Every structure is written in C-alpha cells, then in structure tokens.
C-alpha cells in the first residue's frame, strides 16, 4: 500500500496572512470593524483555498491507483518511469501530451510517469508529482503482481 498527501510547503502558509492583511487594508477605508472582518475573512478564505490545494492524495489501494479524483485499476497501467527534477519539468512542458492525466504540484520536484495500456482509454499516460517516485513505482508493481506477493 502507498499513501502520499501533496501538502504545500510550510512557507506557503504565510499567503493567507498576506491575503488577510490586504483585505484588512482595503476594508480599513470604511471602518476599523470592517478591517477586522476583512482580516479574518481573508485569512480564513486563504487558508481554506491553500488547504484544499494541498489536500491532493496519491494512493495505491485495493488494486487501484487513486490520484486526486481519478481511480485507475492497476491492470490498465503499464510501465512506471520515475522522473528526476529535469525530466519532470520536461514531461510537464515540452514532452507533455495534452491527452495525459496530470496531477502535478510545482513545489514537488519528483514525478512518476505511468503508461496507460487500456486500449479503450485515450489517455496515453498518467503524470503524478510525488516526493517518492521509486516507492510509488514499487507499490504499483506490487499491486500489479497481486496480494500474494
């Protein structure tokens, strides 16, 4: 089994504070109470958005790869290719196929590209940002072999 959450870097949690301060300065023109409300609303909205963005998960469970909202049976997947930082950038950009499924986070340097072998699926591959591409590839291979392995 494999389970990874693509949480945002700790330093990004300063962004909701900046959003709250910005909204407070805008609302200060109207009243001090408005500025306080703007501060609270800005921080809460920024934190909710950041938490949602950083809640993406990649799992290998019950014979399936679950990446974000996608669920793909491992039988429909082919070879998995761990990508280093340079290859990950290339597969996000110049080598990318617009038909591919991508769960990417720019703050995660590594990635895994997994071929899709299902002939009924037009998706050529799945691109997943991951902090442990080798472990994810091994988990997919283990799931492909079955529970006895």
Contact 100, 111 (CB under 8 A): no
Q: Is residue 146 very low, low, confident or very high in pLDDT (cuts 50, 70, 90)? A: confident
Total domains, the chain: 2
Is pLDDT above 70 for 110? yes
Residues 39 and 12 grouped into a single domain: yes
Q: Do strands 101-103 and 125-129 pair parallel, antiparallel, or not at all (unpaired)?
A: parallel
* Phi, psi of 29, deg, nearest 5: -60, -30
Domain extent at residue 99:
71-145
Residues 48 and 76 grouped into a single domain: no
> Could you tell me if residue 139 is inside a domain?
yes
pLDDT score recorded for residue 148:
58
For the whole model, what pTM was predicted?
A: 0.83
Q: Which residues pair with 80 in a beta bridge?
A: 114
CA distance 67 to 3: 10
Residues 33 and 83 grouped into a single domain: no
Each residue of 32-85: pLDDT tens digit? Answer: 999 999 999 999 999 999 999 999 999 999 889 999 999 999 999 999 999 999
Q: Is residue 144 very low, low, confident or very high in pLDDT (cuts 50, 70, 90)? A: confident
Is pLDDT above 60 for 149? no
Average pLDDT of every residue of the chain: 93
Q: At what angle do helices 14-28 and 32-53 cross, to 10 degrees?
A: 150
> Could you tell me if residue 11 is inside a domain?
yes
> Could you tell me if residue 22 is inside a domain?
yes
Residues 86 and 42 grouped into a single domain: no
Residues 89 and 44 grouped into a single domain: no
């Amino acid at each position: 089994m494999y389970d990874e959450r693509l949480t945002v870097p700790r330093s990004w949690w300063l962004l909701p504070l900046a959003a709250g301060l910005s909204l407070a300065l805008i609302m200060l023109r109207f009243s001090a109470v408005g500025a306080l409300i703007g501060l609270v609303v800005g921080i809460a909205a920024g934190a909710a958005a950041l938490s949602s963005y950083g809640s993406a998960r990649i799992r290998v469970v019950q014979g399936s790869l679950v990446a974000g909202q996608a669920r793909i049976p491992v039988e429909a997947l082919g070879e998995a290719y761990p990508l280093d930082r340079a290859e990950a950038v290339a597969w996000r950009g110049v080598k990318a196929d617009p038909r591919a499924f991508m769960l990417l986070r720019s703050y995660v340097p590594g990635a895994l590209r997994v071929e899709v072998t299902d002939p009924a699926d037009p998706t050529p591959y799945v691109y997943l940002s991951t902090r442990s591409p080798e472990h994810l590839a091994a988990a997919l291979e283990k799931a492909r072999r079955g529970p006895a392995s």
